[in-house]
Structure 1
Amino acid sequence: MKQFEQSRLLNSLPDQFFAALSKKVIEYAAMGHDMINLGQGNPDQPTPDHIVASLKAAANRPDFHKYPPFQGQVFLKEAAAEFYKREYNVDLDPHTEIAVLFGGKAGLVELPMCLMNAGDYMLVPDPGYPDYWSGAAMAGAAMDYMPLVEENNFLPDYEEIGEERLERAKLLLLNYPNNPTGAQATRYFFDETVQLAEKHNICVVHDFAYGGIGFDRQKPPSFLQSKGAKEIGVELYTLSKTYNMAGWRVAFLAGNKSVISAINLLQDHLYVSLFSAVQQAAATALTGPQNCVRELSDTYERRRDALVKACQAIGWNVKAPAGSFFAWLPVPKPYTSVEFSDLLLEKAHVVTAPGIGFGAYGEGYVRVGLLTEENRLEEAIKRIGKLGLFIDKKAGK
């Protein structure tokens, strides 16, 4: 069969680092091993019943069996605006300041294509969600990495970036609560970001995917709560984490009108919006009872506490994440993150994500998902403890 050459665009895309990890997991599971997979970011709880019921009822509506409006149903945009007013006291115009997205990932990849030209610079976190790199590649943009280090609470140090790099940047990408570190941002940090963006004419994109998951009674702040934030940026909110709607592919973008207009224009050429029944279910999630959100966050917090306690019991010196459903755990010497992850896979049958897969500054860590029951998290750490890597209490530092 004739082989057709792929486009330069496809060849420019970054490698899917975690595809190789997934292949290894499948191989070990096929051997009959009891694998505890903590390397994924796939929520393990079902979508709340009232949201599923809303989808079922909406799917029976004949008027929803047609193409929806190109830029999404007005009722979903109004629900998103109501959600932001209720949760963050942020006023949004549903017609001009909200765009419906085919999931958060799609929006994150689309935004650089909407705002950047080939050779333009975008500031991205390191470590960070790998699909940020995909968006840059699609746009032909250059990435300028902002180190996230523990000494600065995994926040970028704008002074370290310097004036010259800030002046050339067109886009600044942030994500709090953070994947993979589990760090939270403060209102003060977002205020500082707005001032910086205004000074250097940078568009800020805040990936608020884990906005519903904060621990120790600390509700994650929205970037849009900062004065002037709508003037210089947007925030992306997905329903996949807050409402366990992973796979439903529904999210929205909120904020700057020109950015909303740009992504709507691009999506007009890609999609005819989401199935209206899914949009109705999403509106139900945003405006309906929110006890399911609090219960889910509490579940992740209990799992976090169980994980940290188990790590401490084997002498692994770890810090508890402040939000998201991930923990960012230090790798013991002399291993690299890949070597350590491979060792845990082969000897303990525990799957973790090597930090290097999230960027150069991810080296020295592995990411662990809080996406299984507490007893399985405890069992995973017990297995790791049996390897004798943390007998010296200082080894995990």
Structure 2
Amino acid sequence: MNDDFYRIKRLPPYVFAEVNRMKAEARARGQDIIDLGMGNPDTPPPAYVIDKLAEVARDPKAHRYSASRGIEGLRKAQARYYRRRFGVELDHDKEICVTLGSKEGLANLAQAITAPGDVILSPNPSYPIHAFGFIIAGATIRSIPTSPGPDFFQSLDYQMRYTVPKPTVLVIGYPSNPTAETVDLDFYHDVVNFARHHGLWVISDLAYAEIYFDGNPPPSILQVPGAKDVAVEFTSMSKTFSMAGWRMGFAVGNQQLVGALTRVKSYLDYGAFTPIQVAAVAALDGPEEEIEKRREMYKRRRDVLVESFGRAGWDLPVPKASMYIWAPVPAQFAHLGALGFAKELIEKAGVAVSPGVGFGERGESFVRIAFVENEQRIRQAGRQIRALFKGEAREAAE
């Protein structure tokens, strides 16, 4: 029997699996691991959202199949959110599809619009599903820079000139996971103009729209006039409302892309549990203070992390947005590479981070640090890393 499956052959070993294995083994031995690896919020959703979930779940009719594209009330709530937040008008019936988290939506959209051999432009480093959703669908990936500087558009132009067949889709995501880089609306204007000129679809991942720290809310690509002609945008409730396990996201924008995703999903699922969808309406329509409270919490954690790791001897960049720091591997550990350094932190400091190479080969000399532990635990992580660094310095001196 042939077990050389076509799609599985195209997937490399999952880099994070090794780190996860080491975390599990250490915890099985009773070791306390401070986990700053996965972007997994450690606080619950607002109380009124949980109350709404429980209330609707008590309705005997709520346990039937739901709607694959999302209940109408939730699609309307997302349209209200885009109107308030971005000044963008959306047709809840044709331009919004509810997804089981943005990851599922991205993967299923890739299945809907990709033919084997299509060429996709995806940032490197970036969230793995940006590339692998299309790889699973049979596409070929051409990497472009994640940083939104001049090299970004030079790379786009080069790929459109010299790639055969010509790329069909451009994937972008800001604030970036993992690099935390941000863009302004002028950048999106240039992206939309480029896409319209070259006949490219654009997929924008805006999962961290509400996690920002400099007073400048990240824009939506759909704020650009004409963006709906070429673009669809994914958002998620995971980080904004600490609802990661609820698996609730949205695709909004271009009717053709949203329609393709909706049609594929109609064959694959019946949508999220109805009480979750109703509770998501309560979250979207809830007070802005709840979002601000989480934003302030992540800002405090970011500041504590930068300060405490700095005292340990690890100077970190200060991100303007997201819940991550994209940190260069310290010079004394450069020979280990990103994965080796991540293993070293678990084994000798009891701290878990994500190796940058898991987000693409251009992340080889970085690790991603998530502020998903409380401030006390982050300070403890800093002390343990300081002890590791001091120990390495002593060994080098000897």
| Same fold per superposition (TM over 0.5) | yes
Cα distance in 1 for partners of 2:357, 2:200 equals: 28
SS of residue paired to 1:100: strand
Is 2:371 aligned against 1:364?
A: no
Other-structure match for 1:337: 338
Other-structure match for 2:161: 164
Distance 1:86 1:338, change over 3 A: same
Shifted more, 92-101 versus 178-187: the winner is 178-187
Cα distance in 1 for partners of 2:146, 2:73 equals: 38
Cα distance in 1 for partners of 2:186, 2:4 equals: 46
Structure 2, unmatched stretches of 5+, are: 394-398
Q: For the Cα contact (< 8 Å) 1:14–1:133, is it kept in 2?
A: no
Deviations 1:91-112 (A, max 9, x none): 0000000011111110111111
Is 2:69 aligned against 1:71?
A: yes
SS of residue paired to 1:104: helix
Distance 1:229 1:165, change over 3 A: farther
Cα distance in 1 for partners of 2:69, 2:38 equals: 32
Sequence identity percentage = 35
Write the letter of the residue equivalent to 1:217. Answer: G
Other-structure match for 1:351: 352
Which has a greater percent of helix?
A: 2
Distance 1:112 1:165, change over 3 A: farther
Q: Normalization by structure 1: what TM-score?
A: 0.93
Q: Mapping of 1:302-341 within 5 angstroms?
A: 302-333=300-331, 334-335=334-335, 336-341=337-342
Deviations 1:161-200 (A, max 9, x none): 3141578111111111111111111111111111111111
Q: Mapping of 1:211-222 within 5 angstroms?
A: 211-222=209-220
Other-structure match for 2:51: 53
Distance 1:165 1:209, change over 3 A: farther
Q: CA deviation at 1:159?
A: 1.2
Other-structure match for 1:395: none
Distance 1:389 1:109, change over 3 A: farther
SS of residue paired to 2:268: coil
Q: Mapping of 1:250-261 within 5 angstroms?
A: 250-261=248-259
Other-structure match for 1:114: 112
Aligned length: 387
Write the letter of the residue equivalent to 2:339. Answer: V
SS of residue paired to 1:143: strand
Q: CA deviation at 1:64?
A: 2.2
Q: For the Cα contact (< 8 Å) 2:75–2:93, is it kept in 1?
A: yes
Q: For the Cα contact (< 8 Å) 2:22–2:343, is it kept in 1?
A: no
Runs of 4+ in 1 over 4 A off after TM superposition: 389-392
Q: CA deviation at 1:156?
A: 6.2
Cα distance in 2 for partners of 1:324, 1:310 equals: 19
Q: For the Cα contact (< 8 Å) 1:125–1:156, is it kept in 2?
A: no
Write the letter of the residue equivalent to 2:347. Answer: E
Cα distance in 2 for partners of 1:389, 1:40 equals: 27
Other-structure match for 1:378: 379
Match of 2:298 among 297, 300, 304: 300
Other-structure match for 1:8: 6
Cα distance in 1 for partners of 2:258, 2:19 equals: 36
Q: CA RMSD in A?
A: 2.0
Match of 2:279 among 274, 278, 281: 281
Q: CA deviation at 1:71?
A: 2.6
Distance 1:144 1:23, change over 3 A: same
Q: CA deviation at 1:65?
A: 2.8
Q: For the Cα contact (< 8 Å) 1:332–1:389, is it kept in 2?
A: no
Cα distance in 2 for partners of 1:176, 1:256 equals: 19
